[in-house]
Amino acid sequence: MMPRKKDIVSISKLFVAGFGILASTVAALAQVSPGSTTNPNLAGPLASTNQPSSRPDITRFTMDQLMEMKVTSVSKKPEEFFDAPAALYVITSEEIRRSGARVLPEALRLSPGLDVAQIDASKWAISSRGFNERLANKLLVMIDGRSVYDPAFSGLYWETQDLVLEDIDRIEVIRGPGGTLWGANAVNGVINITTKSAKDTQGLYMEAGGGNVYQGFESVRYGGKLGPNAYYRVYEKYLNHSEFFDPAGNAADDWRMARGGARVDWDISEADVFTWQGDVFGGEVGAKQIMPFTSRPYAQVRTGDAKVDGANLLARWQHTFAEDNQASLQTYYDHFNRNDLRYHERRDTFDLDYQHRFSPLNRNEIVYGLGYRYSGDQIGGEPSTFRFDHPSRGLSLGSAFLQDTITIVPDRLQLTLGTKLEHNDFTGFEIQPGTRLLWTPHERHTVWASVARAVRTPSRVDDDMQAHLPYDNPVPPYIRNPPAAIGIGGNPRFESETLVAYELGYRVRPLDRLTFDLALFYNDYDKLRLGRFDFTNPASPPQITPEYTFLPLWIENLMWGETYGGELVAHWNPTDIWKLIASYSYLKVQLHVPTVGFFDPVSPTATARSPRHQVQLHSLLDLSEKWQFDTGAYYVDRLPSLQVPSYIRLDLRISWRPTKEWELSLVAQNVLDNHHPEFGASLDNFDLPTESRRSIYASVSRRF
């Protein structure tokens, strides 16, 4: 290991580079010449590029030289997403590869403003703009149009979404509400993961490697042609992840996951594209949990493996009637099984979705959609301490949305109005309207504003779960004397949590290779979940043993609050061989509880479960045609309510491509620390947290 002092020097160098970015901006801003316009007619662009200063003489290149030139899409991403009227960040496949991330949730660390905390070796708490927990219930995640949000526990199991990162085309992270398009639970953010078309993954790709934390991993993918316009790929992946550090010893959180699947993309005609895809996975996820008992010693720590498996199948048909008139019909089936230490869940989901985009009038672009989803489950646990009123339940969700994007002034001002209407089995109809305004006063400046409503609909936990938790969880000896337990009772009258979000954004490109993206938000939440102790309510969760001091806790919509903050992201490509991405995010959470009554002391501490300050700096450097050196530095503020101190994480990657086919890379993550905690125990997570370790691994890949 490198001595720590040296690392701090290297970090400080990185931050010096960061300040360099800021300084250069000041200089650059001065150069922005206002008033020039994007001219949609043909003569405009031809005329406007005649800047004599750096006009290259392209006639001097021979065909052979041209054939060898790399088409580097210089800052392609900020260009493409410069005009998005939302707080959007796109993680490219190149950024994923060069981050050294081996699993999907680790790749999400690349998104500014997202709060990614690893609880133990296999579990993550990921949220945007606050309210982080293992099953963060206000973040919606879609993989190729398939929702992976679990309606029983309202959140998702990141460890089972173990995609082949090489096959991910891009990850779009929208901070802020997306309910108008995506529906319920897209409250604080939406993550859209898009995998590559089979057309783009032709040939054989193999990868293998290992290290101290990622003990062994391999994946193989093969892509071929089924016909002149039909492409397929098949893949498999396996990962064996070692334990993290546990101050008490015996972390027992090692895990193994295997996955395989296939995808077909068929351009049936100029106007029709079919996609079929499916995956299967299975694995064992180690955990250490405090198990409550109804008799002495009331609780004990148990270790073991959760067994998980699942499969999904998706089909999509996209039809182009004409330019600006497209429709898509998609259906999927998703199945998963989870046998956790305390409970088991089996879920089968069927989804049908239709969308149509067209421009009926000049300057109007309308998108509407209709959807239906059925999700059936079987859930249960140890009956005395963890059960649901309904051991099996089928939930229906019907949805419709309509959105109109109106061009008020061409190339200058655009207004988007839309709403989603959904019907769910818990609360009936939910409406999520939103409006966005996009103003481009100049081709290098974009201003956007948005007001939107979003809801987090009840889950089965809110509605019909009955669970007992040892009160003093998780501090040994776990149970007070005399013992006490909290009995959490779901509430069939629990309503949706609501948000009205106000956002403002500004993007500026002072130089062709420098972009700033600022997003500010003010979120107004109401009817947030809060447990209320009610010792008199006869319908309280049943008291199990007289030895307990029993504290019945009812789930109700009693909390409200505000969050505000912002994210600033800078992209700078000083040269074609060097790319820098820096970001800062700020978050303040204020939650309020009623003054009269006894309430769950844990929920209001959500104010301090997400870091207030986060700073990131990424450097992607091509040392030569064959060598790459990449660095990622992260500062994450402390989490006071979980007693997690702030930390700085430094990741390094070096890769060597001796030929076009082979790539060898060496990755070191968390190099500054032997171990540090990133998240703590919380009521919604039975698993005891462990600490992230320094990780080193080597990998080799070959494409044919």
Partner 1 sequence: MQLLVPSIEKWGSQCRGFAGAAVLAFAMAAGFAQAPTLTPYQIKAGFIYNFAMATKWLSEDPNSTAPLVFGILGEDPSLGEFALLQGAKVGAHRNLSVKPCKDLSEAKECHILFLSGSLKSNLPTLLEETKDLPVLTITDADVGVRSRGIIHFVLEKDKLRFEVNVSAADRAKLKISSQVLKLAKLRKDEPGGRKD
- Within positions 248 to 267, which residues make up the interface with partner 1, using CB under 8 A? 267
Shortest reach from residue 700's CB to partner 1, in Å: 20
Interactions with partner 1, residue window 524-563 (CB under 8 A): none
Of positions 6, 30, 34, 270, contacts partner 1 by CB under 8 A = 270
Q: Rounded to the nearest whole angstrom, what is the least distance from the CB of residue 172 to partner 1 in the complex?
A: 6
Nearest CA among 427, 429, 436, 435 for reference residue 400? 429
DSSP codes of every residue in 213-247: SEEEEEEEEEEEEEETTEEEEEEEEEEEE---B-T
The one among 98, 221, 316, 393 contacting partner 1 by CB under 8 A: 316
> Which of 322, 481, 482, 596: binder of partner 1 (CB under 8 A)?
322
In this chain, which stretch among 284-292, 293-301, 324-332, 392-400 interacts with partner 1, using CB under 8 A?
Answer: 324-332
Shortest spacing between CB 438 and partner 1, in angstroms:
8
Nearer to partner 1, 1 or 271 (CB): 271
Taking the least distance from each CB to partner 1, the nearer of 139 and 142 is: 142
Backbone angles phi, psi at 458, to 5 degrees: -60, 150
Closest to partner 1 by CB, 440 vs 523, is 440
CB of 43 to partner 1, least distance (A): 6
Asked if 272 touches partner 1 (CB under 8 A), the answer is no
Minimum Å gap between C-beta 187 and partner 1 is 17
Q: Which of 38, 240, 294, 384 binds partner 1 (CB under 8 A)?
A: 38
Partners of residue 344 on adjacent β-strands: 339, 380
* Minimum distance, C-beta of residue 84 to partner 1, in the bound complex (Å): 4
Q: Using the rule CB under 8 A, which residue among 578, 586, 629, 656 binds partner 1? A: 578
Q: Which of 609, 626, 617, 583 has its CA nearest to residue 680?
A: 609
Decide: is 330 part of the binding site for partner 1 (CB under 8 A): yes
Residues 627 to 656: which contact partner 1 by CB under 8 A? none
Residue 287, beta-bridge partner list: 304
Going across the sheet that includes 146-147, the strands are 87-92, 168-175, 189-195, 139-143, 146-147
Q: Which stretch binds partner 1 (CB under 8 A): 61-69, 304-312, 560-568, 610-618?
A: 61-69
Considering only CA atoms, which of 81, 180, 78, 140 is closest in space to residue 405? 180
Residue 308, Ramachandran bin (φ over 0: left; ψ between -120 and 50: alpha; else beta) = beta
CA–chain centroid gap for 565, Å, is: 19
- Do the Cβ atoms of 464 and 480 come closer than 8 Å? no
Tell me which stretch binds partner 1 (CB under 8 A): 39-47, 217-225, 258-266, 524-532: 39-47
Q: Which stretch binds partner 1 (CB under 8 A): 106-114, 305-313, 435-443, 604-612?
A: 435-443
Which residues of 129-167 form beta strands (DSSP E)?
139-143, 146-147
30 touches partner 1 by CB under 8 A:
no
CA distance 474 to 31: 58
Residue window 376-405: x/- pattern of binding to partner 1, with contact defined by CB under 8 A: ------------------------------
Residue 353 contacts by C-beta under 8 Å, 6 or more apart in sequence? 145, 328, 329, 330, 331, 369, 370, 371
Task: Quickly count: other Cβ atoms within 10 Å of residue 224's Cβ.
Answer: 14
Q: 406 in helix, strand or coil?
A: strand
Task: Enumerate residues 6+ apart whose C-beta is below 8 A from 348.
Answer: 333, 334, 335, 375, 376, 377
Report the residue number, 420 or 694, with the smaller CB distance to partner 1.
420
Residue 203 within binding range of partner 1, rule CB under 8 A: no
Our finding on whether 40 is near partner 1 (CB under 8 A) is yes
Residues 145-164 that bind partner 1 (CB under 8 A): 145
**Site size for partner 1, by CB under 8 A?**
83
Distance CA 331, CA 350 (A): 7
Among 68, 383, 429, 546, binds partner 1 (CB under 8 A): 68
- Determine how β-strand 139-143 pairs with β-strand 189-195: parallel
By CB under 8 A, tell whether 355 contacts partner 1: yes
Beta strands in 457-606 (DSSP E): 465-470, 484-489, 497-511, 514-533, 549-575, 578-592
Residues 443-472 contacting partner 1, CB under 8 A = 443-444, 446
Q: How far is the CB of 499 from partner 1 (least distance, A)?
A: 20
Q: Is 398 exposed, middle or buried (0-12, 13-18, 19+ CB in 10 A)?
A: middle
Residue 475 CA, chain-centre distance (Å), reads 31
What does DSSP say about strands 627-636 and 647-656: parallel, antiparallel, or unpaired?
antiparallel
Contacting range for partner 1; rule: CB under 8 A; set: 216-224, 468-476, 530-538, 572-580: 572-580
| By the rule CB under 8 A, 362 interacts with partner 1 | no
Does 42 sit near partner 1 (CB under 8 A)?
yes
Give the residue with the Cβ less far from partner 1, 79 or 524. Answer: 79
Q: Is 166 in the site for partner 1 (CB under 8 A)?
A: no
Q: Which of residues 7-26 bind partner 1 (CB under 8 A)?
A: 24
Residue 364 binds to partner 1 (criterion: CB under 8 A):
no
Token pair 């970001």 is at which residue? 583
Nearer to partner 1, 178 or 677 (CB): 178
Residues in 71-100 at the binding interface with partner 1, rule: CB under 8 A: 71-74, 79-85, 88
